[in-house]
Amino acid sequence: MLPWMAAHFFSSVLLSGLIIQLPRHVITRVTDCKRAVFDQNGGNFHTVGFPRALTPPQCFLYHFVAPVGHHIEVEFVTVEVPSAIGSEWVLKRLYGGFYRNCCSCVDFVHIYDELKPNGSAGDVEDYNYREFCGKNIFEGEPAFVSSKNHLFIEINAGMSKSVRIKGVYRVLKATDYAPDAVSTAPSPTSCEYRVNGLTGELFSPRAPYYAPTNMTCSYAFPALRDHVLKINLTGLDVPKTDCHDSYLGVWRLKPRILIENLCSGIDLPYLISTHEGLWLEFRTGLIERRIRGFRLHYEYIASGNNASLASSSHVGSGTASQVAVDLPLWAAILGSPTTTNPTGGGPGGTSNRCPVRVVSTRAQLPSLDDAIPLWANNSGVLSSEHFVPSENTNFKCQFVFVGAPDEHVQIVFRKFRLFTWKDKGINSTNEMRCEEMDHVAAHVLVGSRMSKIDDFCGSEIPPPLMSAKNILTLDYVVKTVGSAREVTADDEYGFVIEYRFLSDWGQQPAEARQVPAKPCGFRFNSSIQTKGHFWSANHPGYYPRNLDCEFVFYGNDGQIVVIHFEYFDVEGFGQCEQATHSDFVLFSNYMTTDRTNRRYCGAQRPPGAIASESNYFRMLFRTNDIFDGTGFYGHYQFIDQQSNKMANVKLATSSRGVLQTAPPGVTVLLSMAMGVILSRQTLGSP
């Protein structure tokens, strides 16, 4: 053993904790570590001589101790640790043959939730061992928490003269994170709770420690007569790049209808207010980064103390109404109404004010201004000329469409022609952005904010639009530039739209069946139909944002399913990784996520044909809250694996929207996505 590896010594270091010497039984890097214990309720910690950097080689082990039943949380304020030296020769010189098992960084920070029973440290087998170095040292995770009442931080300055660290620590009492709810789980492995008090707090499982991976926990909030349930979500830590496998889902309690999946992109605090019962579902997938989960406060308030939600709200005919939007969001959407002088009447008569509110008969709204017109319909047609003044003046008129919490708004443009300077023989239009001319701006509700879809101008009819949630707005903006603009009645500028409030994601083929407990899930069974088409929600219009859809294909024994796309426009970049926030399509041969298959988006279009490995095939289609595309239109066919008669299988598209076919008598070699040759066939042969 080398002399510097066998050294055992103790050096006094003045820090904000008590210095002690702990036994060391394993080989460490560069030198044995100097040790310090921090046993107060909280305080600061830092490297020796901070803000000066450590002089290498030095190693320190900080031991944080709390009473039994407590946790330690540390948060790094300043961390400067260089990246690993990528030379195998250097690592061998430093660590000999041990470098392959011990480390990837020369200068590093190690964090241990606890040590092994023999008290050793510096081994990758330690419980929840983690090593950090480099520019993005903590990858957006500056705070760490122990699983029990001990936490260890090892700081090693191996070669660099720039290692320096500063942070704070806190002691957390485990009983402070007990949920104010009653467990209704049928077994110890289940996680189900029911709220039975008027006020309290809820936390994700194992709080304040990290939430378990690949788990689901539910929380039921019953409706109380003459009470409003208010939930204040103050903390939510799930991966920002994935709101499909890890999220906090908000559902109506009865009937069980999804309202929204919340993830780390939302603005906190996030407020929920309703007269109805709710059901929250906290789910974590197989995630790499550990997450802290959620924290919320709930309270049932007598309706008399909540007049803003209970007063003067529109209630339509038909099914029971639902609070569709809370008061602050409603005020933010409407803003200041703009008075106009229209020449016609709206669906309910003559309108003399914008904005125009169109509300589903199943929704109810807080009232801000009773003078603002409101129409309750589940579908209808609107013409801009009924709500706007003469086209010779500047104005803005907003059309607000609000459905019930479980509804979506769909807009289809039947006529669209807005003024452009090119209409008057002026070429300046080519140099102007759409938002600088007469235009219609479309926005949808994403999380707790309104997000723009696009600006539409000119005479090209916009694609159909669909909201992910229950609110969609159209802003009609007319901008007059100088007296050269002269608009006559014959010009007929404006637009006509058809709107619908939908409780699903639109039509799919008649043979498609709804997947249970999946709002956007469709099942295709060969016992019903052996071939057909399928398409994305709202195709050929823009697909909704934050969409999580699946198309499941079930064949008979001995069958496989072959899929190809006749049209594919799914927005994304590169290999469609989560870090790029790409929308994507993913195929799976299993009921769980098949990580061996690639994602498809953008320029990474699906190959000519994609075949399943068995009689089960699942296609996932997921969208983010940023991009918009027109989706896909595909063809499926169930095929007997032992049959060579595949004359009806179509080939892939050569370009968007153009289908290739082979004439009768032409032999085709059909190669599937997995690189397996399925069959040789002659198209058109019997």
In DSSP notation, 42-103 reads EEEEE-TTTTSPPPSSEEEEEEEE--TTEEEEEEEEEEE-PPP---HHHHHHHHGGGHHHH-
Dihedrals phi, psi of 70, to nearest 5 degrees: -125, 165
How far is residue 6 CA from its own chain's centroid? 51
Beta-bridge mates of residue 399: 356, 474
Find which of 86-95, 498-507, 564-573 is predicted with most confidence, using mean pLDDT. 564-573
Cβ-contact 607, 670 below 8 angstroms: no
Cβ-contact 367, 312 below 8 angstroms: yes
CATH 2.60.120.290 for domain 313-502, yes or no, is: yes
State residue 482's pLDDT score: 54
- For residue 637, CA distances in Å to 508, 526, 537 come to 16, 8, 20
CATH 1.20.1180.10 for domain 513-682, yes or no, is: no
* Statement: residue 560 has pLDDT above 90: yes
State residue 263's pLDDT score: 80
* Statement: residue 425 has pLDDT above 70: no
Which of these, 245, 263, 549, 541, lies nearest to 410 by C-alpha position? 541
- pLDDT higher at 313 or 63: 63
* Statement: residue 499 has pLDDT above 70: yes
Q: What is the DSSP letter of 172?
A: E
Structure tokens at 422: 């090119």
Per-residue pLDDT band for 88 (boundaries 50, 70, 90) equals: very low
* Statement: residue 405 has pLDDT above 50: yes
Please report, rounded to a whole number, the percentage of residues in the chain having pLDDT higher than 90.
31
The sign of the CA dihedral 97, 100, 101, 104 is positive
125-144 mean pLDDT: 62
- 11 vs 543: CA distance, rounded Å: 64
Query: Among 177-186, 408-417, 433-442, 591-600, which stretch is predicted with the lowest mean pLDDT?
Result: 591-600
Collapse the DSSP code of 34 into the 3-class scheme (helix H, G, I; strand E, B; otherwise coil) and give the result.
strand
Phi-psi region of 113 (alpha: psi -120 to 50; beta: other; left: phi over 0): alpha
State residue 383's pLDDT score: 83
Q: What average pLDDT is seen over the chain?
A: 74
If you classify domain 3-173 with CATH, what class do you get? mainly beta
State residue 423's pLDDT score: 60
Per-residue pLDDT band for 325 (boundaries 50, 70, 90) equals: low
Q: Do domains 178-305 and 313-502 have the same CATH topology?
A: yes
Find which of 4-13, 337-346, 355-364, 461-470 is predicted with most confidence, using mean pLDDT. 461-470
- The side-by-side arrangement of strands in the sheet containing 395-402 is 374-376, 356-359, 395-402, 471-478, 439-446, 449-456
567-596 mean pLDDT: 84
Q: Where are the domains of the chain?
A: 3-173, 178-305, 313-502, 513-682
Percent of the chain as helix, strand, coil, to the nearest 5: 10, 40, 50
646-671 mean pLDDT: 38
649-660 mean pLDDT: 39
Cβ-contact 165, 76 below 8 angstroms: yes
Which of these, 495, 486, 480, lies nearest to 393 by C-alpha position? 480
Cβ-contact 379, 499 below 8 angstroms: yes
- 375 vs 401: CA distance, rounded Å: 10
- pLDDT higher at 596 or 57: 57
353-376 mean pLDDT: 66
* Statement: residue 577 has pLDDT above 70: yes
Instruction: Write out pLDDT tens, residues 201-256.
Output: 999 999 999 999 889 999 999 988 888 899 999 999 887 656 778 899 998 888 88
Query: Among 38-47, 147-156, 299-308, 513-522, which stretch is predicted with the lowest mean pLDDT?
Result: 299-308
Within 8 A by CB and 6+ apart from 353, the residues are: 337, 339, 340, 371, 372, 373
State residue 345's pLDDT score: 36
The terminus-to-terminus CA distance of the chain in angstroms comes to 78
* Statement: residue 274 has pLDDT above 70: yes
Per-residue pLDDT band for 159 (boundaries 50, 70, 90) equals: confident
618-641 mean pLDDT: 91
Collapse the DSSP code of 386 into the 3-class scheme (helix H, G, I; strand E, B; otherwise coil) and give the result.
helix
Q: What is the DSSP letter of 294?
A: E
457-470 mean pLDDT: 92
Cβ-contact 415, 495 below 8 angstroms: yes
Find which of 86-100, 276-290, 359-373, 528-542 is predicted with most confidence, using mean pLDDT. 528-542
Class of residue 54 by CB neighbours under 10 A (exposed 0-12, middle 13-18, buried 19+): buried
- 313 vs 232: CA distance, rounded Å: 23
State residue 140's pLDDT score: 57
State residue 467's pLDDT score: 92
Structure tokens at 17: 């904790």
State residue 355's pLDDT score: 76
- pLDDT higher at 135 or 95: 135
Per-residue pLDDT band for 359 (boundaries 50, 70, 90) equals: confident
Beta-bridge mates of residue 153: 62, 111
- 388 vs 381: CA distance, rounded Å: 16
State residue 11's pLDDT score: 35
pTM over 0.85: no
If you classify domain 178-305 with CATH, what class do you get? mainly beta
* Statement: residue 20 has pLDDT above 60: no
- 354 vs 375: CA distance, rounded Å: 13
Per-residue pLDDT band for 122 (boundaries 50, 70, 90) equals: very low
- pLDDT higher at 85 or 210: 210
Instruction: Write out pLDDT tens, residues 179-208.
Output: 999 999 888 888 999 998 899 999 999 999
Collapse the DSSP code of 478 into the 3-class scheme (helix H, G, I; strand E, B; otherwise coil) and give the result.
strand
